[in-house]
């Protein structure tokens, strides 16, 4: 079995920044077991498998090293970048069929990529005491969004250097914990995203988290366009625009490596 693949850093134009993803271009999907083994071998937070359907339409699946996942923003950006940058398609708009429904990625005039994703709205407040104890800093608000929680801390705390006890986060009932704050500098807000019960405890730059953060900060800041920074050790910048019940994430990606998967399976 030979599969062409690319290693891509998404949400950045610099190598070794942003969020890494592998992109596997297949004529047909291997078995779920083989997809999982490939993702485990590469051991990025997500590996995208892309199958052409017709000229501008593709079926897209994402696998973490442990399981197939329902949605992954940065691996979608990585897949779109490969298809456009490598001239696999000439169109400026790509359509992906996924487990989470149809997704659209457009190449903007400035060569940035625009991901059109569903806005994910906050559902209910969460007891602040839980996260005040875990983070050992003041907590302004905590809101559940689907199976994640947004935790806002004051802007005078250095979020990038904040020590987060992953073991204590594991005891919460949430899949992911998004810690965020209003920014004093060039960005409207910054964030970090932790997934304590998965193989990658802190995600470097997360498209899906910004689908939640966009709604949260839209109501807090009374605006619909933002520049955001995810303050992981790798870091990444995302321009955001809310349009009704959709959110547009504008960013870029860079290819680090291309090659062929040749292992017999």
User: How would you write the pLDDT of the chain (265 residues) with one tens digit per residue?
Assistant: 799 999 999 999 999 999 999 999 999 999 999 999 999 999 999 999 999 998 889 999 999 999 999 999 999 999 999 999 999 998 899 999 999 999 999 998 777 999 999 999 999 999 999 999 899 999 999 999 999 999 999 999 999 999 998 889 988 889 899 999 999 889 999 999 999 877 678 999 999 999 999 999 999 999 999 999 999 999 999 999 999 999 999 999 999 999 999 977 6
* Whether residues 230 and 128 fall in one domain: yes
Give burial (CB, 10 Å; 0-12/13-18/19+) of 121.
Answer: middle
- pTM beyond 0.85, yes or no: yes
Nearest C-alpha neighbor of 252 from the set 133, 82, 137:
82
* Whether residues 89 and 153 fall in one domain: no
Residues carrying an active site annotation? 46
Q: Which domain holds residue 139?
A: 124-244
* Whether residues 178 and 237 fall in one domain: yes
* Whether residues 59 and 138 fall in one domain: no
* Whether residues 109 and 202 fall in one domain: no
- Residues 49 and 169: their CA atoms lie apart, in Å, by 31
The CATH number assigned to the domain holding 194 equals 3.10.310.10
> What 8-state DSSP symbol labels residue 237?
E
Q: Sign of the C-alpha dihedral, residues 14, 18, 22, 27?
A: negative
Q: In 3-state terms, what secondary structure has residue 208?
A: helix
* Whether residues 98 and 139 fall in one domain: no
């Amino acid at each position: 079995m030979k599969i062409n693949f690319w290693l891509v850093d998404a949400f950045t134009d610099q190598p070794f920044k942003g969020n890494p993803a592998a992109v596997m271009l297949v004529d047909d999907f291997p078995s779920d077991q083989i997809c999982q083994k490939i993702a485990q071998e590469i051991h990025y937070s997500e590996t995208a498998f892309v199958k052409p359907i017709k000229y501008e339409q593709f079926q897209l699946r994402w696998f973490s090293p442990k399981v197939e996942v329902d949605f992954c923003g940065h691996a979608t950006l990585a897949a779109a970048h490969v298809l456009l940058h490598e001239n696999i398609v000439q169109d400026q708009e790509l359509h992906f069929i996924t487990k989470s429904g149809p997704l659209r990625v457009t190449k903007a005039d400035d060569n940035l990529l625009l991901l059109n994703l569903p806005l994910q709205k906050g559902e209910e407040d969460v007891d602040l005491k839980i996260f005040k104890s875990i983070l050992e800093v003041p907590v302004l608000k905590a809101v559940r969004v689907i199976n994640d929680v947004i935790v806002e801390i004051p802007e005078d705390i250095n979020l990038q250097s904040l020590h987060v006890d992953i073991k204590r986060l594991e005891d919460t009932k949430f899949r992911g914990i998004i810690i965020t704050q209003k920014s004093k500098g060039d960005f409207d807000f910054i964030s970090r995203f932790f997934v304590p019960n998965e193989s990658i405890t802190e995600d470097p730059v997360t498209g899906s988290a910004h689908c939640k953060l966009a709604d949260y900060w839209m109501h807090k800041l009374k605006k619909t366009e933002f520049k955001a920074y995810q303050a992981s050790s790798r870091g990444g910048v995302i321009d955001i625009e809310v349009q009704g019940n959709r959110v547009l994430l504008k960013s870029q990606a860079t290819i680090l490596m291309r090659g062929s998967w040749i292992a017999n399976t």
